[in-house]
Amino acid sequence: MLTNDAQLVYRADNHVGTFHNEPSTAVNCMTIIRSKILQSLFKPGYCYSSQACYLAEATLTMIVQAMLFGWKGATIFQAGPSKAMNWYGTNGTGSHGAAGPRVGDGDAMCGNAVMYDATAGKILVIGGSIDYQNANATANAHIVTIGPPMSAAAVQTISPMSYPRIFANAVVLPTGAVFISGGQNYGIPFSDNGSQLQPEMWDPVSTTFTKLAPQAIPRNYHSIGLLLPDATILSAGGGLCGACATNHYDGQIYSPSYLFTPNGSRATRPVIESAPAQVSVGGTLTATTNAPVTAWAMLRLGATTHTVNTDQRRIPLNATANGTTYTMTLPADPGVLIPGYYYLFAMNAAVPSLAKFVSVPVP
């Protein structure tokens, strides 16, 4: 989803063996699709030059399971999985620019990328492998910070995850922490060998990972992780490969520690008593709560498959309080506040409310 009523669509041959260091044939097509011709992307073949605008296919490799983020100025930032990061412009006939390497990292096939603070252009990139399968996963962790479109991204290597992971899921929480679950230490689709059963939580302030209570069921290839409107996380699926032995037709709910007091009882959650159903890019959002709160955030609803969930993003909001009425100015760039549906959370310290659903229409 982009900001100018268009979608960037990429097509790449998938599930055909190694993609590491393949030449540009790994990318068959990057196309800007306007809404009226959306159906064309499902046809076999390549780009449709008569209907859509070509983007530079350039010399891209490793764009299967692409880490693509809509951004300012109708651009898309590609954080991975290739070590080389890229920009794509969607105005006119499209454009391509290098964004520099993820210094300190290798290719991160089937790793995770999470925009945990869109207002600051912050993306956490973790794990992955040099190959789609039959290779060791890494525990690498980097903070990639983007600013002006087409400029080099800043890359910070941080302490690695506790475990190497490929095919894991990563979910940003209202606080900006990132929950990471599942994956394998060695990538084998449709296998539970080397399952990482212990999730971990990344803290954006300390930039470190903390191990959490183990899961009972492996969550590997084809598994999902999604934030729910009560600020818990659904960790589900895996396998889903016909009659094979590693199908997991079930799910688990993880309740983060912010829902509990130090003695283990349930924390008292703030309540959003009123909030608008729809807000505008660059507009204001006024909401009321049942008691004073200390922070607000909008989290875009995720959609995930094959470890990729670049629909999710977190927009922290600064609020001006008048009693328990809070007024927030929303980001003015639709590349930051990407149109769509969001959870709105109020937090008292780190304890989140239940979410209210807020939609952001295309400006």
* Residues with active-site annotation: 221
* Sign of the CA dihedral running 344, 347, 350, 353: negative
Question: Which ranges in 245-336 belong to alpha helices (H)?
Answer: none
Q: What is the C-alpha to C-alpha distance for residues 183 and 149, in angstroms, rounded to an integer?
A: 32
**Residue 250 CA, distance from chain mean position:** 22
The CA distances from residue 31 to 5, 62, 95, 124, in Å, are: 14, 17, 11, 26
Other beta carbons within 10 Å of 14: 11
Say if CB 70 and CB 338 are below 8 A apart.
yes
**Residue 181 CA, distance from chain mean position:** 14
Q: What is the C-alpha to C-alpha distance for residues 240 and 249, in angstroms, rounded to an integer?
A: 8
Exposure b/e, 95-123, CB count within 10 A at least 16 = b? ebeebeebeebbbbbbbbbbbbbbbebbb
Q: What is the C-alpha to C-alpha distance for residues 300 and 297, in angstroms, rounded to an integer?
A: 10
Say if CB 179 and CB 199 are below 8 A apart.
yes
Say if CB 183 and CB 196 are below 8 A apart.
yes
Q: CA torsion 235→236→239→245, rounded to 10°?
A: 110
* Sign of the CA dihedral running 14, 83, 87, 172: positive
Exposure b/e, 45-63, CB count within 10 A at least 16 = b? eebbeeebbebebeebbbb
Amino acid identity at 131: D
DSSP 3-state assignment of 174? Answer: coil
Query: Which of these, 139, 128, 67, 141, lies nearest to 99 by C-alpha position?
Result: 67
Residue that has been written with the tokens 């006119």 in this structure: 92
